[in-house]
Amino acid sequence: MRTTTEALSSVIDKIVNREILLPDFQRGFVWNDEEKQSKLVASVLAKMPVGSILLLSSNSNDYAYKLIGCKERKTSAELGITGEILALLDGQQRVTVLTNAFSNVIFEMAGNAKKLISQSALKRRFFLRIPQYKAEEGSVQDFFNVRGLNFPYRDVEKEEPVFLTDEIYEAIKVVNFNADQLVIVKP
């Protein structure tokens, strides 16, 4: 077994490129709770460990697969993939929530909100509540240093934030959206 550390952006790139897929035998998505999702996002922002994922190197013809966050099972031919892929064996909940929170990838792959594995859980967008710039000093805690226009670090070289997960949890706002009004804007 090989252990590696990868940035979330690298994992999301592999999801986009269909290198990481969910095998058909994997259990369903169960993290519908808004609070659980928000706490995971807060942990990432506070640079806290969020657990690991387990990937199995397998042949694209070994199983039917689902794209991360999507409910339809498809064969490798239907997905347009051949050769080796990484089957997500453990960490589906975290990977799905984080991919949804920090990108539009899941919506782009699904193409339609009805094809999401959980509309109630994945029709959410995460926002940070930050104080108004003109708010009186001390009226609202400014974890994200809006007035200084930079992200404050305790240790700049290690990029350790000055706050902990529990301290910023209330600053994370989750908003459900109407799937019929979903517009994906690509840069």
- pLDDT tens, residue by residue, 16-70: 999 999 998 888 888 878 888 889 988 888 888 888 999 999 999 999 999 999 9
* Nearest-angstrom CA–CA distance, 70 and 122: 10
For residue 35, which amino acid is it?
Answer: E
Query: Cα-flanking dihedrals φ and ψ of residue 139, to 5°?
Result: -75, -35
| Alpha helices, H only, 5-117 | 8-16, 34-45, 76-79, 92-102, 105-110
Q: What percent of the chain has pLDDT over 90?
A: 27
Q: 2 lies in a domain? A: no
Between 178 and 43, residue with greater pLDDT: 43
Between 108 and 178, residue with greater pLDDT: 108
**For the chain, what is the domain count?**
1
Residues forming beta bridges with residue 127, ordered by sequence position: 173
SS percent in the chain: helix, strand, coil, step 5: 30, 20, 50
Between 134 and 7, residue with greater pLDDT: 7
* Nearest-angstrom CA–CA distance, 187 and 168: 29
Give the range of the structural domain holding residue 72, as residue numbers without chain letter: 8-181
Residues forming beta bridges with residue 175, ordered by sequence position: 125
Token pair 């996002």 is at which residue? 41
pLDDT at residue 164 is higher than 70: yes
pLDDT at residue 90 is higher than 90: yes
Question: What does pLDDT average to over the chain?
Answer: 81
pLDDT at residue 94 is higher than 80: yes
